[in-house]
Amino acid sequence: MLVGAGGHAKVVIEVARAQGRFEIVGVVDPRPPGPRVLGVPVLGGDEALPRLRADGVAWAFVALGGNALRERIGGELRAAGFRLATLVHPSAEVMPSATVGEGAVVMARVAVSAEARVDDLAILNTGAVVEHDNLIGAAAHVAPLAALAGNVRVGARALIGVGSAVRPGVSVGADAVVGAGAAVVADVPAGATVGGVPARPLRARGGAAAR
């Protein structure tokens, strides 16, 4: 059972189907865009969860792109007795010494290298490179084609933007945002938003710090 019926859920459904380990019985979303997502029926909003668990649905997956929301819903599903599935596309290369947590998804053509650790509920999006000894925190999101060199640490719920690059050994703090196409060459404080080449703190259009 998936929570979330948006664009991210579509990709998650394709990954789960390609992996072939789970049968998807339905999607739960209080405001779905339609009655089905890639042919998977929408079963209702959050009120459907206890019935699904009672009917024997044991595994759940949070298919929501928002990091804090995904973390919160993941905790609620566990408290309701669900186990969180780990989804890995067959075209991804996850080295044997790497680990991927529960509720995490590894999309198509991702590379996860030696002794990297990917914590629960993280997203490694299409084509991302997570090099050796990386630590990807819980509910973090490494966006498509982002490249993390060796020994990078990404804090919980951080977003590493599409196509960005992170220099070896850099730490990105919890809840930080790395903008699309950035080159991160120094540590990023928790909660900061950075962008550019080399990455600097970004300012919102009003002139205040973006985050």
Ligand X SMILES: CC(C)(COP(=O)(O)OP(=O)(O)OC[C@H]1O[C@@H](n2cnc3c(N)ncnc32)[C@H](O)[C@@H]1OP(=O)(O)O)[C@@H](O)C(=O)NCCC(=O)NCCS
Chain residues binding ligand X by CB under 6 A are 125, 143-144, 161-162, 177, 179-182, 193, 195-196, 202, 204-205, 210
Beta bridge partners of 62: 3
Measured in residues, the chain has a length of: 211
Active site residue 132: yes
Report, in Å, the least distance between residue 184 CB and ligand X: 11
Residues 69 and 91: their CA atoms lie apart, in Å, by: 28
Q: Between residues 46 and 187, which has the closer beta carbon with respect to ligand X?
A: 187
| Structural tokens at position 201 | 């703190």
Q: Between residues 113 and 126, which has the closer beta carbon with respect to ligand X?
A: 126
Residues 111 and 92: their CA atoms lie apart, in Å, by: 6
Report, in Å, the least distance between residue 19 CB and ligand X: 20
Report, in Å, the least distance between residue 103 CB and ligand X: 17
According to DSSP, the β-strands at 36-37 and 40-44 are antiparallel
Residues 202 and 207: their CA atoms lie apart, in Å, by: 9
Residue number, nearest CB to ligand X: 179
**Collapsed DSSP state (helix, strand, coil) of residue 188:** strand
- C-alpha triplet 179, 180, 185: angle, nearest 5°: 60
Q: Between residues 24 and 194, which has the closer beta carbon with respect to ligand X?
A: 194
Of the residues 8, 89, 132, 141, which is catalytic?
A: 132
Q: Between residues 44 and 191, which has the closer beta carbon with respect to ligand X?
A: 191
Residues 193 and 116: their CA atoms lie apart, in Å, by: 24
Report, in Å, the least distance between residue 170 CB and ligand X: 17
Residues annotated catalytic, as ranges: 132
